[in-house]
Amino acid sequence: MRGKSLRHGLTALLTAAMATTSVATGLVQATADTDGSSRSQPLRAHATARNFLIGTAVATGPLSNEQAYRDTLNREFNTVTAENAMKWDATEPNQGQFNFSGADQIMASAQANGQTVHGHTLVWHNQTPGWVQNLDANAMRTAIRNHINTVVGRYAGRIASWDVVNEVFDDNGGMRNSFWYQRLGESYIADAFRYARAADPNAKLCINDYNVEGINNKSTAMYNLVSRLRGQGVPIDCVGIQGHLSIQYGFPNDLRQNMERFAALGVDVKITELDVRMRMPADSNKLATQATYYRNVIDACLAVPRCNQLTVWGFTDKYSWVPDTFQGEGAALPYTENYAAKPAYQSLHDALAR
């Protein structure tokens, strides 16, 4: 067997994982080639060698409190996204009163570990305080401008890319009937991008959404909006495809084709929030299916030159939004709750190492 001597100090963790998890049969050991070849290196080494960003969402709790979390985070990933700490409710809970404690914590950690930062997110209908939602049109536009000026301005030059707007479409490809849309119509989208560009001319500015992996009404609406706004000179640099997938619903086989049509508009494409959930309990078959989903996503991204980033929405099942959000589902990430690499990890690794 390859990997007699395990790298990364995972031996004990794996042993613990085998003993305590019900999905042990699906686990793969972190491999280290005895010939010392590059296959044994962490994800970020392979990614960096090909000028690619491999990232994860980061939660401030375990970042503060847990060494095993920090070890895996900093060993494997060369870019990070704040899972919650840069959202409006965290950064401006009351009008004009900003709180950057969590965001600064993530920035400091990223800087210390040579990771770029993807900012998430400026204008979204969730996790935005009530005071914003109740403003009239003029006051809301002013609040967006002030929020973006302050948040983007604070990190100007230190955040590589921002999800400027998030989830602006409904599930059929219409504009989401959010409080933003109700008060401001579609204009808030162009305004947000212009404010962000003014606050940091060097950050890449993205529009981000879910259920836009394949070619469908929603991704076509995204395509049309990006095309139209760029035609008007609105500074949109990238499209973020979240990638919250489930093995129950089948793989979006036209993912690559979809990314190619976005790339043809002249924008970068990023997989911004990948996870692949399953009905619990997990078993080795489901984990193997999950691994094919991860492989298909990274293969598609690596095949499209303008797809320059793949970020997973957390890396360990210990801290995943999935069980809290999708009842009865879980095990969506590349590592178990005990930080053992799953077959999904191997998919990412092998694609990047190829």
Rounded to the nearest whole angstrom, what is the least distance from the CB of residue 105 to ligand XIL in the complex?
Answer: 16
Helix orientation angle between 343-353 and 284-303, rounded to the nearest 10 degrees: 20
Tell me whether residue 273 is one of the annotated catalytic residues. yes
Nearer to ligand XIL, 53 or 122 (CB): 122
Residue among 76 and 83 whose Cβ is closer to ligand XIL: 83
**Judged by CB, which is closer to ligand XIL: 115, or 166?**
166
Q: Are 284 and 277 in contact (CB under 8 A)?
A: no
Q: How far is the CB of 124 from ligand XIL (least distance, A)?
A: 7
Of residues 41 and 163, the one with the C-beta less far from ligand XIL: 163
Least Å from the CB of residue 238 to ligand XIL: 15
* Residue corresponding to tokens 């060494």: 67
Cross-strand bridge partners of residue 213: none
Rule CB under 6 A: which of 19-58 touch ligand XIL?
Answer: none
Cβ-based nearer residue to ligand XIL, 53 or 86: 86
Instruction: Compute the distance between CA of residue 12 and CA of residue 9 in angstroms, rounded to an integer.
Output: 7
Question: CA 303: distance to chain centroid?
Answer: 19
Q: Does residue 166 bind ligand XIL (CB under 6 A)?
A: yes
- Please identify which of the residues 76, 83, 273, 329 carries the catalytic annotation: 273
The DSSP bridge pattern shows strands 307-312 and 116-123 to be: unpaired
Contact positions with ligand XIL (CB under 6 A) in 66-85: 83-84
No. of H helices and E strands in the chain?
A: 15, 10
Binding of residue 321 to ligand XIL (CB under 6 A): yes
C-alpha distances (whole Å) from 200 to each of 156, 159, 161, 349 are 5, 9, 10, 33
Q: What is the pattern of x (binds ligand XIL, CB under 6 A) and - over residues 237-256?
A: -----x--------------
Strands (DSSP E) contained in the chain are 53-58, 79-82, 116-123, 161-166, 204-209, 238-241, 244-246, 268-279, 307-312, 329-330
Q: Could you tell me the smallest distance in angstroms from the CB atom of residue 88 to ligand XIL?
A: 11
Catalytic residues: 273
Enumerate binding residues for ligand XIL (CB under 6 A): 83-84, 166, 242, 273, 321
